[in-house]
Amino acid sequence: MSINYQDRIPNNVDLGSNRTLQRALEHWQPEFLKWWEELGPKDFQVADVYLRTATSVDAKGWATYGYVRMPDYRWGIFLNDPDPNRRIGFGDSFGQEVWQQIPGEYRATLRRLIVTQGDTEPASVEQQRMLGHTAPSIYDLRNLFQVNVEEGRHLWAMVYLLHAYFGRDGREEAEELLERHSGDADKPRILGTFNEPIRDWLSFFMFTYFTDRDGKFQLKSLAESSFDPLARTCQFMLTEEAHHMFVGDTGINRVVKRTLEVMKELNTDDPLAIRKAGAIDLPTVQRYLNFWFSSSLDLFGSETSSNAASYFANGLKGRPDESQYEDHIAIEQSYLLELPDGQGSTKSEQIPMRNAMNEVTRSSYVRDCEIGLNRWNRLIEKAGHSFRLTLPSTRFRRNIGNWAGVPTTPEGLPISAEQFGAHKNDWLPSESDRAHIMSLMQGVTEPGKMAAWIAPPDRGINNNPVEYEYVRLQ
């Protein structure tokens, strides 16, 4: 169904035919706008931003680009078209018809899953709200705002499900999604990573590369759900998410590219000399990468999880790209885990496959993360340097799961707390790293100009040149 932009809430779910639901959502809409004005991008609400807006959910749906003031963005409800032949793809009810309504016994669990996903969407907008002032270019400023408005839309996607399928409980949850705030001492966001403010653009690029990619894998798992409206919502969200990861991938690529230029100009790889020239030395990039990768790994949950097993058994949350697996029941298989033995070494443990679903998803995520690193490393290799960016071990600096609180090297070798302390500043951003990065954060507002620590992008947005005025500041 095509998107109806005549309604107050743009949608492709024929919202007008359900007056009660429409009224309930129209009641939530001003609350959302109030939240956006208060906690969305600070000080840019009247700027004209060159944004894309979805006009349909197919591949041509992104054809619409134009200047919009962010509070006027047409946030709405867009689900992928239904597939009348879709069947349950995994778990105990494999092959049966998918659900258009929620079976009573799964109501509480599905609500929790939807609320947890929904909570991350506005959280990231809150985390990034100060970044507009220090954008390295107008092009980057526009990308930040595009990500922000789409995270706002992802909140709409989840709120629609809560309102449409969970009655009064759902409406209350929708209100609470606007009441919890990132970093709030009394009402924080649900997941730890989403309570850390993002104060600099290197962190923003790391966040969009690593943490938005966790989002991709969560959405891919939910896109397999037997609850068909949830699956179709997530399928469309994934097309928006792809842009967020593009921002991270190309952002880090441009940082590395600029650093290599400076290394060549100065004929040195001395971090201090590179910093003096206003760029970011590669070891610092690695430390930021270590921080954001490890913090994103925690979002997948524990290696062994009975919750994950029951989500899978009951058909609520599958494996990303479930169709690629041979066995969709996964009741007879097992998974081999390497766990800490509590004495400074490791032990192997065989667990039922269904209990290992978090780990299965985390492993696919790690493989997906490597693609970008290979690309960035090719740049470094081509420039004739032996330095390589690497993903730390999934054991490194974990706060959730079997490796939580177990000190290891970035390679995953268990070490003592003293040894970890002695190397902490080699492996994770130090005070001086952070101070250097913050010193580079000066907003650049002239179209086409770039901050000295980042190379220009290869091309602009929607066939426009890089020097296009992507944001008209007022």
Quick note: the x/- pattern for Fe ion over 102-141, rule CB under 5 A, is -------------------x--------------------
Find the binder of Fe ion among 126, 173, 212, 433 (CB under 5 A).
Answer: 212
Find the binder of Fe ion among 52, 129, 154, 287 (CB under 5 A).
Answer: 154
> φ and ψ at 77, to 5 degrees?
-120, 110
Least separation in angstroms between residue 142's CB and Fe ion is 16
DSSP string, 199-259: -SHHHHHHIIIIIHHHHHHHHHHHTT-SBHHHHHHHHHHHHHHHHHHHHHHHHHHHHHHHH
Look up tokens 């009641």; give the residue. Answer: 27
| Residue whose CB is less far from Fe ion, 277 or 299 | 299
Of 120, 192, 150, 115, which is closest to residue 41 (Cα–Cα)? 150
Kindly indicate which of the ranges 58-66, 125-133, 153-161, 252-260 contains the residues binding Fe ion, using the contact rule CB under 5 A: 153-161
Q: How many CB atoms lie within 10 A of CB 85?
A: 7
DSSP string, 366-414: HHHHHHHHHHHHHHHHHTT------PPPTTTT-SSSTTTT--B-TT--B
| Residue whose CB is less far from Fe ion, 212 or 228 | 212
Kindly indicate which of the ranges 210-218, 257-265, 353-361, 386-394 contains the residues binding Fe ion, using the contact rule CB under 5 A: 210-218
User: In Å, how far are 284, 391, 423, 435 from 430, measured between CA atoms?
Assistant: 9, 18, 11, 9
Q: How many helices (H) and strands (E) does the chain have?
A: 13, 5
Find the binder of Fe ion among 244, 258, 317, 395 (CB under 5 A).
Answer: 244
Where in 370-409 is the site for Fe ion (CB under 5 A)? none
Of 275, 277, 290, 306, which is closest to residue 408 (Cα–Cα)? 290
Kindly indicate which of the ranges 151-159, 252-260, 361-369, 457-465 contains the residues binding Fe ion, using the contact rule CB under 5 A: 151-159
CA 256 to chain centre: 21
Kindly indicate which of the ranges 149-157, 159-167, 315-323, 359-367 contains the residues binding Fe ion, using the contact rule CB under 5 A: 149-157
The DSSP symbol for 192 reads G
Quick note: the x/- pattern for Fe ion over 4-33, rule CB under 5 A, is ------------------------------
Instruction: Calculate the CA dihedral of residues 283, 287, 292, 298 and round it to 10 degrees.
Output: 130
| Residue whose CB is less far from Fe ion, 68 or 158 | 158
Least separation in angstroms between residue 182's CB and Fe ion is 14
| Residue whose CB is less far from Fe ion, 18 or 239 | 239
Least separation in angstroms between residue 245's CB and Fe ion is 8
| Sequence-distant (≥ 6) Cβ neighbours of residue 461 within 8 angstroms | 50, 65, 139, 142, 143, 468, 470
Least separation in angstroms between residue 121's CB and Fe ion is 5
Least separation in angstroms between residue 184's CB and Fe ion is 20
Bridging pattern class, strands 346-352 and 471-472: unpaired
| Residue whose CB is less far from Fe ion, 144 or 428 | 144
Kindly indicate which of the ranges 134-142, 211-219, 222-230, 254-262 contains the residues binding Fe ion, using the contact rule CB under 5 A: 211-219
Least separation in angstroms between residue 285's CB and Fe ion is 22
Kindly indicate which of the ranges 28-36, 150-158, 297-305, 360-368 contains the residues binding Fe ion, using the contact rule CB under 5 A: 150-158
Q: 107-127 vs 19-39: helix axis angle to the nearest 10? A: 30
DSSP string, 252-289: HHHHHHHHHHHHHHHT---HHHHHHTT---HHHHHHHH
Residues touching Fe ion, count (CB under 5 A):
6
Look up tokens 């969009």; give the residue. Answer: 208
| Pairwise CA distance, residues 249 & 238, whole Å | 16
Where in 46-105 is the site for Fe ion (CB under 5 A)? none
| Residue whose CB is less far from Fe ion, 142 or 154 | 154
Kindly indicate which of the ranges 234-242, 315-323, 331-339, 384-392 contains the residues binding Fe ion, using the contact rule CB under 5 A: 234-242
Least separation in angstroms between residue 96's CB and Fe ion is 30
Quick note: the x/- pattern for Fe ion over 410-439, rule CB under 5 A, is ------------------------------
Kindly indicate which of the ranges 6-14, 163-171, 204-212, 414-422 contains the residues binding Fe ion, using the contact rule CB under 5 A: 204-212
Least separation in angstroms between residue 174's CB and Fe ion is 16
| Residue whose CB is less far from Fe ion, 119 or 241 | 241
| Sequence-distant (≥ 6) Cβ neighbours of residue 467 within 8 angstroms | 447, 448, 460
Least separation in angstroms between residue 213's CB and Fe ion is 9
| Pairwise CA distance, residues 346 & 336, whole Å | 13
| Residue whose CB is less far from Fe ion, 161 or 380 | 161
Of 166, 178, 162, which is closest to residue 233 (Cα–Cα)? 162
The footprint of Fe ion (CB under 5 A) covers 121, 151, 154, 212, 241, 244
